């Protein structure tokens, strides 16, 4: 489910970036529900975005960052394992502000630690979800729970 929330976050941030108008959030929710996402997934994605925007001004202790206009280039060895599509998706997550530069490096490190011959987009989504929503992050979903058969976040 967390990978689906990542998909929603990417969709919403792309909408916010490309359509500078103040789109109605309920219209965006309806669009997402028509794409097959549940109400709880959509609410969690909105919640993550708003929480992330509020905390983005706070110091996290992660002083590592690239220059504003720079892009992380994969080393030749990293290129052997991470597909071009997965790398492009990873750059999109960074460009949208979902991942910090430090997070980008963490995802690459975890991807290489998988030990598989090829890292694809779905692998990047899973790693990103565990990084953003896992217990080792400050954005844990601890405290939220889902009732079986219910789309309400408690």
Residue 154 lies in a domain: no
Instruction: Check the CA dihedral 116-120-123-128 and report its sign.
Output: positive
Residue 60 lies in a domain: no
Count of the separate structural domains present in the chain: 1
DSSP class of residue 82 equals B
The answer to pTM > 0.85 is no
- Residue 79: CB atoms within 10 Å: 12
Low pLDDT (below 70) residues in the chain? 1, 20-23, 54-69, 135-154
Per the structure, the complete domain to which residue 105 belongs is given by: 2-54+72-133
Residue 148 lies in a domain: no
């Amino acid at each position: 489910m967390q990978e689906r929330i990542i998909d929603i976050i990417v969709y919403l941030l792309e909408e916010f970036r490309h359509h500078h108008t103040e789109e109605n959030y309920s219209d965006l929710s309806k669009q997402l529900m028509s794409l097959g996402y549940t109400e709880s997934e959509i609410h969690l994605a909105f919640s993550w975005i708003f929480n992330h925007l509020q905390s983005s001004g706070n110091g996290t202790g992660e002083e590592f960052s690239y220059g504003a206009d720079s892009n992380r280039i994969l080393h030749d060895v990293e290129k052997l394992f991470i597909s071009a599509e997965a790398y492009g998706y990873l750059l999109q997550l960074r460009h949208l502000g979902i991942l910090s530069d430090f997070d980008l490096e963490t995802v690459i490190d975890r991807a290489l630690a998988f030990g598989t011959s090829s890292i694809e987009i779905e692998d990047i989504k899973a790693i990103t979800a565990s990084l953003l929503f896992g217990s080792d992050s400050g954005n844990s979903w601890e405290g939220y729970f889902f009732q079986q058969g219910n789309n309400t976040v408690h």
